[in-house]
A and B are shown apart, each in its own frame.
Chain A
């Protein structure tokens, strides 16, 4: 009888300590990790909205079938922000507060990602692999930088590399940039300004609005300015029209493109005008020989999805899923948000089965990689013509 009280109180204390140590992490149960994804399902980038998560799920399902991560299955829930920053904030709030997701992943678009920075900081919730190549994502002067792990090479770095490439090809080159007048273009211009300072030159700059249908004015100006190398910071439609307009005017500079122009449709749609067009990309192509791409093709074929959509967007989802999974694996069995951040910071030279140049993070480093490969268009087919360039 005498012993009872101390023993039971010790047991009780042990129970409390146990509970305190195991405060449940949102979105994590013994069997499942819930992650949140915000895509544009009905706005201007809707083409990517279904493709990215589909590709990511190919890899998640592959991992789940192998037993999951430390016994937990990954499940992804999605919201639509229509590429609207306000709606992105509402969607992130819902995912964090209502659905109680463990972390955010692949939120698409520069402006939407910028808009949810303070939410990330307030809730101390990580965002892994935002689906934008804007260099601002890994900018440590911005709110919530600690929670964002950017995978892709920034537009600014890509622009730098492309200017260098132009001068390597031809020391007498006259470089110009044709950029989209928005956040994306601003980040490209930032890189151009750095390159101008390094090379001591002035780059001719021509702007266009997203969705522009006529490029006669800009192309005339590029021609008048005598540009021999034109870097295009556009997406799909605009580079095609610009190159076709130039070809129609008999003006044939070397066109170079920032990674969104790597879309296969640019190569297909520009026809002869786009022959020899070179685009930068932050990863190997989905149809390349690296192990990651082979695995992707195998899983894609097994999923029974229309092979027509096998291209870069599904693959983008797939490869970034590998990074998230790597982080979750490293974070261990006792999964917490802080644990994931520490685990991500420990990733060094992760190449995702050969797909990436080597992704590294650190306590003060949120930019996954600074390198690109160059992809040339030859008769509507794309071929990689360089090693990783930094």
Chain B
């Protein structure tokens, strides 16, 4: 029995780390959705782009003697974030601005196209080989009791928590955050009271690209880097829905729930009930539908009632 319990705890811990990756992508979805009501289907690809940019800089710095250690990783990370600022601005320019007053559907289609284009362009630039980035935190592990967690996973969890707390604070306590919320509620009214709506939109794309980059940089050493890692975005999508689309704490809660379900069903559940193995792929979606049946707006979602 203790064996099973120990196993379960280990799986939950691993699941939380996996869930935090989903949470980071889901957070990107949420940010853009919160301010513009657009679902950005290229979020996973933005993460992939961020991860590659970081990887390229790390590789370029390897040849410079002073910069091939921790300093190099920091510089590369800073470089990737700087790139994220530029790229976020660019995305706002080419996707959001021209389609501002068009139906949300058009913007969503544009994001899907962007996802495909980014995958193809990155494949051209980076070549077809899977890259093997190393973790800046080494391959060390921390042992607490019988439970093992890698230092890298600890960083993933703490980054996800820090970003979620930061953005929660930002949206609820700062002037800019509240302006963003107001914009999503009613862009026309927001611009009438003097909120620079265009700037709000641009910033939200930048934020979302930065979050994606952080996610990508943390994810790449864990799963290795190729142009298909963006498909993870498709898994983060149910996480965002589960937590309540548009809710920032919802992103992390939804992500962690999904991550834990995945590892536990793949592990202990499959071990004791072999038939679970056969339905591993759909368990996540069963849970999603079950939650939506009980709480249609997701766990943290608010049901919005439109006045007629």
Report which A residues bind B (CB closer than 8 A). 42, 44, 46-47, 49-50, 206-207, 209, 211, 213-214, 216-218, 220-221, 224-225, 236-237, 240-241, 244, 247-250, 265, 268-269, 271-273
Contacts and interface: CB of A to CB of B under 8 A. Distances in A.
Contacts of B132: 240, 265, 268-269
A205 to B, nearest CB: 9
Dominant SS at the B interface?
helix
Given A46-B123, A220-B7, A250-B148, A214 B130 contact: no
Contacts of A44: 228
B223 A213 contact: yes
A236 B270 contact: no
A186 to B, nearest CB: 14
Which of A42, A217, A271 has the largest count of B CB atoms less than 10 A from its CB? A217
Interface of B: 3, 7, 10-11, 14-15, 18, 21, 120, 123, 128-130, 132, 139, 141, 143, 148-150, 219, 222-224, 226, 228, 231-232, 259, 262-268, 270-271, 277, 280-281
A236 B264 CA distance: 24
Contact of B266 (A211, A217, A269): A217
Contact of A47 (B3, B130, B219, B281): B130
Given A224-B3, A224-B271, 10 more contacts: A42-B123, A214-B262, A216-B11, A216-B267, A217-B270, A220-B11, A221-B267, A237-B130, A248-B149, A265-B132
A244 B132 CA distance: 13
A265 B11 contact: no
Which of A42, A214, A268, A269 has the largest count of B CB atoms less than 10 A from its CB? A214
B42 to A, nearest CB: 19
A221 B128 contact: no
A271 B139 contact: yes
Contact of B232 (A213, A224, A250, A265): A213
Nearest to A45: B128
Contact of A49 (B128, B143, B224, B266): B128
Contacts of B7: 220, 224
Nearest to A250: B148
Nearest to B281: A209
A207 B270 CA distance: 10
A240 B224 contact: yes
Given A271-B139, A272-B139, A217 B130 contact: no
Nearest to B4: A224
17 contacts: A46-B123, A206-B270, A213-B232, A216-B11, A216-B14, A216-B18, A216-B267, A217-B263, A220-B10, A220-B11, A220-B268, A224-B7, A237-B226, A240-B224, A248-B141, A265-B130, A271-B139
Contacts of B129: 47, 265
A157 B131 CA distance: 31
A237 to B, nearest CB: 5
B44 to A, nearest CB: 12
Contacts of B15: 216
B232 A217 contact: no
B267 A236 contact: no
Nearest to A48: B128
A209 B7 CA distance: 22
A306 B263 CA distance: 41
Nearest to A266: B132
